[in-house]
Amino acid sequence: MARNLRYVPEGCLVEATCRTIHGRFLLRPSRRVNEIIRGVVGRAQRLTRMKICAFIYLSNHCHLLLRPLDAAQLASFMRYLNSNIAREIGRLHDWREKLWGRRYFDIVVSHEPEAQIDRLRYILEQGVKEGLVAAPHHWPGANSTASLARGQKLSGVWVDRTAQYRARLRGEPTSDDLFSSTEEIELSPLPCWEELSESKRQTLVRRLIKEIVERHATRREDRPVLGAQEILRQDPHARPARSKRSPGPRFHCHSARVRKALEWSYTLFRLAYRQAVEDLRAGRKYVSFPPGSFPAPGRFVPLRT
């Protein structure tokens, strides 16, 4: 099955997800893992200027709600983020294979306020809907819940491995502490909440959290949650007995009308992109790719001797 083209309409919201290989618990929360993840997220945001609305890292997958300018910025951010998390987590857990099962999957969220709030709700309820914890703020891993609900600052630790390597070559001390710095994460509001004050947005998030707790408490009835302590005791190399593998949609929409419009816009985008690729292969020098796309690399031209 062919991969979908990277399609990021201007000013849209995008949900990006990624799962570890075999669904292993390589992202299992701990103080060090949380510092690493937040540090890489903060650095990736600073280098690519990505707007982040929300994020959460579960033991074997992650969800990020982003506001990229275009597909190129999204790809640059996710490439830096996933590659550096993979290296640091592999180093921490002595994992020599690849960390991620496949490349990240991105889903465009429509301009509808209902669709945007629904995706934020979905990220907030991660860990709760699976019966792992009773409330969003109980999840012990790296997430944005406390910042969204209370304005708590988000920061992590970045270790400059390049400088550390050069110091090792010079025979100097190479402790991680000598090459560590703090990276801050700045959260942006949902597009539909941009006109609201920060206190109002926090009130709305707390309301969503309350609804999530009450709804899932009713569904669980007398079944206890796994709890944070059990989660922290999981073996990072372990994998679940069963893993969810349902395909994701191309768009998150509230109404069928908007979904149909986005599907049609994607069809037109795909036709324009394919034509641009054909022009590039034909050797044309000036090729225009459709807005919001990730242009293909130029045609290879061998050197003449």
DSSP letters for 21-62: GGG--TT---HHHHHHHHHHHHHHHHHHT-EEEEEEE-SSEE
Q: Provide the residue range defining the domain that includes 215.
A: 13-254
Verify that 205 and 268 share a domain, yes or no. no
Q: Indicate whether 40 belongs to any domain.
A: yes
Residue 268, amino acid: L
CATH number, domain with residue 230: 3.30.70.1290
Q: What is the pLDDT of residues 180-236, one digit of tens each?
A: 999 999 999 999 999 999 999 999 999 999 999 999 988 877 788 999 999 999 999
pLDDT band, residue 284 (cuts 50/70/90):
confident
126 in the same domain as 83: yes
**Residue 4 placed within a domain:** no
Better pLDDT: 16 or 224? 16
Residue 80 lies in a domain: yes
pLDDT at 198: 96
Q: What are the percentages of helix, strand and coil residues in the chain, rounded to 5? A: 45, 15, 40
Among the candidates 237, 254, 271, a domain finishes at: 254
How many domains, the chain? 2
Residue 6 lies in a domain: no
Is residue 208 domain-shared with residue 290, that is, in the same domain? no
- Verify that 249 and 260 share a domain, yes or no: no
User: Could you tell me if 65 and 45 lie in one domain?
Assistant: yes
Calculate the average pLDDT of the chain.
92
pLDDT digits (tens, 9 = 90+) for 112-163: 999 999 999 999 999 999 999 999 999 999 999 999 999 999 999 999 999 9
Task: State the residue for tokens 């073996």.
Answer: 235
